[in-house]
């Protein structure tokens, strides 16, 4: 992008150039609380931070000492590294341990013949991982789970002391997302699992609809006949304190597990009462 095009982009956004500049400065030189910077969109990948932070808040309120957050589709590893950075800041802010896991084939997108996988946009072999470089970078900060996602999700379990609380889905394909969604059915989860779907909102190159890609996987997941353990995976509209809407807001989903034994535990017992004003 040329300098002129970049200037046009920045100066015609709903968010002012001043706000964009201040956000970038806060990302580079963080001051103030993590929560304030998260609310201001002044952190890297605020979508990841939003899900991880609110999962940690929920877990702490329910008395857990730890919570697990997952990235589905690690690719080069930038998202996983960023999630580890959020982990450190959230642990410091809330005093709860966060375990991070990343799932990927390690060899890029698998071969597919399913038209719902948007193969005109996502060719097989894209996003190959440099495993050695990523493992050196993350060290013991995260668990790397490699292999076909259908098998790896089936074989993996959250730590018994750290229920699953957040999942970032970035697998591109309908088929891969379909195979990954059963992670939400694991026995050890929070009552509400915070999720981000990277490809429910795409550009004209992908031209996705509700019957393709991640959106179709979510739609079919919600049609599951097993209503004894699972409930709908539904998109939520949240209040972001009057701030300008960001594109990632509509990519945040929450899985509500209505039959979870702790689902009805009140997490806001000290909520301030609304008292009658005036005489």
DSSP string for the chain: --HHHHHHHHHTSSS-HHHHHHHHHHHHS--S-HHHHHHTT-SSSHHHHHHHHHHHHHHHHTT-SEEEEEEE--TTSHHHHHHHHHHHHHHHHH--EEEEEEEE-SSSSPP---GGG-TTTS-TT-S---HHHHHHHHTTSSEEEES-HHHHHHH----TTS-EEEEEE---SHHHHHHHGGGGG-SSEEEEEEEEETTSS--TTT---TTSHHHHHHHHHHT-S-TTT---EEE-----TTPPPPGGGGGEEEEE-TT-TTTT--S-TTPPP-PPP--
Q: What is the pLDDT of residues 220-246, one digit of tens each?
A: 888 876 543 434 444 445 555 556 677
Q: Is the pLDDT confidence value at 264 over 50? A: yes
* Average pLDDT over every residue of 151-162: 96
How confident is the model at residue 35, as a pLDDT? Answer: 94
Model pLDDT, residue 243: 63
Residue 265 is predicted with a pLDDT of: 94
Tell me the mean pLDDT in the region 158-182.
Answer: 96
pLDDT grade for 248, boundaries at 50, 70 and 90: confident
Higher pLDDT, 251 or 142: 142
Mean pLDDT computed over 132-159 = 96
Whether residue 193 is predicted with pLDDT greater than 60 in this model: the reply is: yes
pTM of the model: 0.90
């Amino acid at each position: 992008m040329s300098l002129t095009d970049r200037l046009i982009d920045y100066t015609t956004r709903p968010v002012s150039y001043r706000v964009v500049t201040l956000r970038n400065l806060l990302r580079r030189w963080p001051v103030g609380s993590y929560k304030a910077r998260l609310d201001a969109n002044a952190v890297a990948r605020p979508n990841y931070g939003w899900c991880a932070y609110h999962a940690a808040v929920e877990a702490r309120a329910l008395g857990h000492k730890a919570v697990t957050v997952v990235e589905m589709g690690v690719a080069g590893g930038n998202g996983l590294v960023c999630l580890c950075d959020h982990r450190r800041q959230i642990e410091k802010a809330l005093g709860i341990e966060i375990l991070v896991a990343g799932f990927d084939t390690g060899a890029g997108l698998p071969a597919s013949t399913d038209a719902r996988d948007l193969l005109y946009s996502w060719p097989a072999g894209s996003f190959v991982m440099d495993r050695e470089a990523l493992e050196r970078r993350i060290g013991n900060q995260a668990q790397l789970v490699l292999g076909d996602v259908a098998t790896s999700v089936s074989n993996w379990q959250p730590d018994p002391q750290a229920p699953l609380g957040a999942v970032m889905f970035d697998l591109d394909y309908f088929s891969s997302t379909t195979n990954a969604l059963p992670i939400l059915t694991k026995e050890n989860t929070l009552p509400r699992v915070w999720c981000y779907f990277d490809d429910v909102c795409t550009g004209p190159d992908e031209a996705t609809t509700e019957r393709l890609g991640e959106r179709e996987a979510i739609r079919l997941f919600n049609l599951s006949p097993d209503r004894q353990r699972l409930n709908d995976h539904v998109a939520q509209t949240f209040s972001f304190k009057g701030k300008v809407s960001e594109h990632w807001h509509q990519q945040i989903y929450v899985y509500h597990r209505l039959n979870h034994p702790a689902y009805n535990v009140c997490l806001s017992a000290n909520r301030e009462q609304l008292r009658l004003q005036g005489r």
